[in-house]
Amino acid sequence: MTPYSEDLLRGVLSQHSSKGVLFALQTTQEVLGYVPDSSLNVIADVCNVSRAEVYGVFTFYSDLRKTPPAQVVIKVCVAESCQAVGSRTVVDELHARGYDVHAGTIQDDIACEQIFCLGNCALSPAALINGVPMGRVTADALLQAASEMKQ
Amino acid sequence: MTKVFIPCDSAALSVGADSVAATFAAIAQASSLDVTIIRTGSRGMYWLEPLVEIETTSGRVGYTNVDARALTPSVVADMVSASDLPNSIGLVDSFPWLAKQQRVTFARVGVIDPLSIEDYEFFGGLVGLRNSLQETGVGVVEMITESGLRGRGGAGFPAGVKWRGVLQTQADQKYICCNADEGDSGTFADRMLMEGDPFTLIEGMTIAGTAVGATKGYIYIRSEYPHAISTMTRAIDVARSHGVLGESVLGSGKSFDLEVRAGAGSYVCGEETAMLESIEGKRGMVRPKPPIPAVVGLFGKPTVINNVMTLAAVPMIMAQGPAAYQALGHERSRGTQVFQLAGNIAQGGIVETAFGITLGELVDEFGGGTRSGRPVKTVQIGGPLGAYLDHNSWDVPMAYESLAAAGGMLGHGGVVVFDDTVNMAQQARFAMEFCAEESCGKCTPCRIGSTRGVEVIDRIMAGVDQSKNLVLLEDLCEVMADGSLCAMGGLTPLPVRSALKLFPADFGVNGGTR
């Protein structure tokens, strides 16, 4: 069973069919929170390309996800500037609490994912929690903010 | 009525600027203080954020590191009356860190309401565009060439030459693409400008478009910058409703419009041809050159591709003339560069100054050394593909050629500082790992070389067949540098080789200990 209306999605996507496959994938994720397998056929149809082509674009970009996201997503920067002020420690501490940022583990409806640079390099280590920027973070501060956001 | 300025820049938000603004407004209202809170970009003095500024007759007075929880009715009243408080820094414009800079591209960032086109015009905006609309396309391209403006994305290619190529190519459609995929760690100037003064970028792109005959422009912004995407999108709407964009730009009869496209988490899409593929909706695979994008670019049409900082420098050049811009700089690097101080640094932020400032001045004088207080061990300039440098490079003037001669790369002007606790073998390994993660996969040296690179460095670090593996690593670096299709694989050896050359002991090499 499809957990969403294909017709509804088709309606949204066909307004922007000229903007290409990536835009359609991003729009799908914006509307549904992720890109369900079955939506690839809808996108292929709307954009008039093969399903394989859509799949190729889908798998290239790390933002696009094939499963629903956790309620709260913590994106931790692991690039050089944040490494210089302890992002490796943040990552290790999150790991010790059951969150593997490489795998994007979901636990208690909170996910921790790695990201390469948020442009907040003067206030490293940086993170983004459901789109809200945080600077000079620790693992504790991140998980605390995430659990507050869940309520 | 007193004007109060509080940043809405995303980095300022990351240390609580939103709650400062909300608390300040609530207290001011409860205390019946006559204030207007204006949200601005950031001045780029990030170690002082949230920085609240109060307008007085002699200028704006600043209060640093304002904590929403510490705001009481009496503190707010004191701030509104510009009284002395322990965290006041007096007139912000006279604050030495800022006063020593030459803010050209960043003149309005942190000063104006980013979405007020009235503010923008009041502070000198749209003069350049109006001037350029009086000129022929050839005339505008000449002025940009004369100014000596070079591409700020990293390669330093003369902007005027690029524009001339597109101007001279006949086509039914041309495009301007702004590369706002600022993926290098340690860089945030593009983000700040888009969040703090988006009309400058719009004006620069409109000048480029109307000059070379392009009617459509795209701004490709990475998805890691949600605030920049939102501000830029809203600014385009404002510009359109004020006739800056549209069928007839400022009534000139020339048409130009803009669209924001968001990236989707791919570093290599900052490479210009991969970016074009991504805007077209495809996988971000690098295209072989030639043909260059100026001839065959977006959707196969002639396309100007410039970085945010390049295009944002254009309005000033057109407003004040190329000579004013040309007068600044060092050797063949003309104008100003927006340096970004990042990583383990006490006073991180934006330093805009003429090319030629030394690395030491940036790190020690502006940066104030490390945040941890420990000695600086190394700095990485120009993002993940830039070289690591040490104190021996402290006197190198920061400019394209002089830095290249010192074995470095200016790139986008980001300077990431590390203290003496960093292990450089780990950093070299990360450079390879990052390349493996982000390679588009089109060419073999980058796709496979990066993975082999991680393995070889692991063996060196473990002391396995060290001398043989060092030869292998050097060989691998040579293949990647010479055989890769773009800078992703081509420059990854730069941080690896420089780390190994400067800090062999970190690799357990030369009898050193890890």
Read off the pLDDT of residues B397-443 as tens digits, 9 standing for 90 and up: 999 999 999 999 999 999 999 999 999 999 999 999 999 999 999 99
CB distance B415 to B383 below 8 Å: no
Residue B104 inside a domain? The answer is no
The reply to whether B286 touches chain A by the CB within 8 Å rule is no
Find the CATH number of the domain harbouring B488: 1.20.1440.230
Show residues of chain A in contact with B281, CB under 8 Å.
19-24, 47, 57
Interface of B with A in 69-108 (CB under 8 A): none
CB within 8 Å: A80 and B371: no
Residue recorded with tokens 């700089």? B329
Same domain, B258 and B154: yes
CB within 8 Å: B14 and A57: no
Same domain, B392 and B283: no
Read off the pLDDT band of B154 (50, 70, 90): confident
Among A101, A121, A142, most B C-beta atoms within 10 A, so best to mutate, is A121
- Helix and strand totals (H; E) in chain B: 21, 16
What is the count of structural domains for chain B?
Answer: 4
Radius of gyration for chain A, computed over Cα atoms and rounded to the nearest angstrom = 18
Residue B110 inside a domain? The answer is no
CB within 8 Å: A20 and B223: no
The reply to whether B270 touches chain A by the CB within 8 Å rule is no
With CA atoms as reference, report the closest residue to B257 among B241, B276, B280, B236: B236
Taking the complete model, does pTM exceed 0.95, yes or no? yes
Task: Give the per-residue pLDDT at B155.
Answer: 86
Radius of gyration for chain B, computed over Cα atoms and rounded to the nearest angstrom = 24
pLDDT at B298 over 80: yes
Residue B106 inside a domain? The answer is no
**Residue ranges of chain A that CATH labels 3.40.30.10:** 72-150
Chain B residue nearest residue A80, CA to CA: B185
Out of B326, B344, B359, a domain closes at B326
Task: Give the per-residue pLDDT at A1.
Answer: 46
Same domain, B221 and B126: yes
User: From CA B135, how far away is CA B143, in angstroms rounded?
Assistant: 10
**CATH class (in words) of the domain with range A72-150:** alpha beta
pLDDT at B148 over 70: yes
Per residue in B101-110, pLDDT (tens digit) is 999 999 999 9
Q: What is the pLDDT along chain A (151 residues), one digit of tens a residue?
A: 467 899 999 999 999 989 999 999 999 999 999 999 999 999 999 999 999 999 999 999 999 999 999 999 999 999 999 999 999 999 999 999 999 999 999 999 999 999 999 999 999 999 999 999 999 999 999 999 999 998 8
Show residues of chain B in contact with A116, CB under 8 Å.
183, 185, 224, 267, 434, 437-438
Question: What length does chain B have?
Answer: 514
pLDDT at B511 over 60: no
Residue type, B94: S
What element of type H or E holds A107?
A: strand A106-107
Cα B387–B388–B389 angle (5° rounding)? 110
Per residue in B493-510, pLDDT (tens digit) is 999 999 999 999 999 986
Is the link from the previous residue into A68 a cis peptide, with omega within 30 of 0?
Answer: no
Residue B269 inside a domain? The answer is yes
Same domain, B414 and B313: no
Number of other CB atoms surrounding residue B77 within 10 Å: 14
Task: Give the per-residue pLDDT at B29.
Answer: 97
From the CA of B343, how many Å to the nearest CA of chain A? 4
- Helix and strand totals (H; E) in chain A: 7, 5
Per residue in B205-237, pLDDT (tens digit) is 999 999 999 999 999 999 999 999 999 999 999
Same domain, B335 and B409: yes
Structural tokens at position B499: 């780390």
Task: Kindly report the backbone phi and psi dihedral angles of residue B214, in degrees, each rounded to the nearest multiple of 5, phi listed first.
Answer: -95, 140
Same domain, B228 and B154: yes
Same domain, B380 and B461: no
Residue B212 DSSP symbol: H
Residue B103 inside a domain? The answer is no
Same domain, B48 and B166: no
Q: What is the mean pLDDT of residues B311-330?
A: 97
Q: What is the mean pLDDT of residues B112-120?
A: 98
DSSP states of A23-87 as a string? Answer: HHHHHHHHHHSS--TTHHHHHHHHHTS-HHHHHHHHHH-TT--SSPPPSEEEEEE-SHHHHTTTH
Same domain, B148 and B297: yes
Task: Give the per-residue pLDDT at B514.
Answer: 42
From the CA of B263, how many Å to the nearest CA of chain A? 9
Show the 3-state SS of B107-171. Answer: CCCCCCCCCCHHHHHHCCCCHHHHHHHHCCHHHHHHHHHHHCCECCCCCCCEHHHHHHHHHHCCC
Task: Compute the Cα dihedral for B229, B235, B238, B239 and give only its sign.
Answer: negative
Show residues of chain A in contact with B280, CB under 8 Å.
20
- Which of A26, A56, A82 is nearest residue B264 as measured by Cβ atoms? A26
Find the CATH number of the domain harbouring B36: 3.40.30.10
Out of B371, B394, B419, a domain closes at B419
Distance of CA B381 to the CA centre of its chain: 13
Show residues of chain A in contact with B345, CB under 8 Å.
122
Residue B244 inside a domain? The answer is yes
Same domain, B333 and B406: yes
Contacts of A92 (CB under 8 A, 6+ apart): none
CB distance B315 to B335 below 8 Å: no
Task: Give the per-residue pLDDT at B137.
Answer: 98
With CA atoms as reference, report the closest residue to A106 among A34, A4, A53: A34
Same domain, B52 and B152: no
Residue B102 inside a domain? The answer is no
DSSP states of A65-76 as a string? Answer: -SSPPPSEEEEE
Contacts of B73 (CB under 8 A, 6+ apart): B27, B30, B31
Residue B193 DSSP symbol: H
User: From CA B486, how far away is CA B91, in angstroms rounded?
Assistant: 47
What element of type H or E holds B315?
A: helix B308-320
Task: Give the per-residue pLDDT at B324.
Answer: 96
According to DSSP H, which parts of B375-439 are helical?
A: 400-405, 424-438
Burial B478-492 (b: 16+ CB within 10 A, else e): ebbbeebbbbbbbbb
> Which of these ranges, B43-47, B151-155, B200-204, B372-376, has the smallest mean pLDDT?
B151-155
Quote the domain boundaries for residue B24.
Answer: 2-97
Out of B311, B326, B341, a domain closes at B326
Strands across the sheet containing A110-115 = A106-107, A110-115, A72-77, A127-129, A132-134
CB distance B341 to B316 below 8 Å: no
Same domain, B177 and B316: yes
